[in-house]
Amino acid sequence: MKIRDVRATLLRTRSIFVEVETEDGAVGLGECSPMNGPVLAHFVNTALRPLLLGEDPRDIGRLWHKMLTRTYKLGVQGVQPEAIAGVDIALWDLLGKSVGLPVYTLLGGKHRERIQMYASIGGGAALSPAEMAGRVQKALDQGFRAFKIRMDWGVARQNADPAKDLEMFRLCRELIGPDMPLSFDANNGYSVSTAIQQGRRFEALGIVHFEEPIAQYDYAGMAQVAAALDVPISAGEHEYTRWQFRDLILQAQVDIVQPDVVKCAGLSEAQRIAVLAETFNRQFLPHQTQPTLGTAANLHLCCTLPHCTRPQEYTGPRPELEEMFEAPYVFEEGCLQIPDRPGLGLTLKPGALERMAAERG
Residues between 99 and 118 with contacts to Ca ion, criterion CB under 5 A: none
The alpha-carbon radius of gyration of the chain (Å, integer) is 20
Residue closest to 119 by CA, chosen among 138, 134, 102:
138
User: Least separation, in Å, of the C-beta of 233 and Ca ion?
Assistant: 12
**Nearest residue to Ca ion on Cβ basis:** 185
CB 234 → Ca ion: shortest distance, Å?
8
Kindly state whether residue 88 participates in binding Ca ion, applying the rule CB under 5 A. no
Asked if 313 is part of the footprint of Ca ion (rule: CB under 5 A), the reply reads no
Under a CB-based contact definition with an 8 Å cutoff, are residues 311 and 146 in contact?
yes
Q: Which is nearer to Ca ion, 286 or 342 (CB)?
A: 286
Our finding on whether 19 is near Ca ion (CB under 5 A) is: no
User: 126 — phi, psi (to 5°)?
Assistant: -95, 0
- Rule CB under 5 A: say whether 93 interacts with Ca ion: no
Residues 3, 98: Cα–Cα separation, whole Å: 13
Query: How near is the Cβ of 291 to Ca ion at its closest, in Å?
Result: 15
Using CB under 5 A as the binding rule, the residues of this chain from 151 to 210 that contact Ca ion are 185
Instruction: Please say which residue, 36 or 98, places its beta carbon nearer to Ca ion.
Output: 36
When the beta carbons of 185 and 269 are compared against Ca ion, the nearer one is 185
Rounded to whole angstroms, how far apart are CA atoms 270 and 278? 12
Q: Does 260 contact Ca ion by CB under 5 A?
A: no
Residue with Cβ nearer Ca ion (316 or 339): 316
| Cβ 356 to Ca ion shortest distance, Å | 26
Give the count of residues interacting with Ca ion (CB under 5 A): 1
Residues that bind Ca ion (CB under 5 A): 185
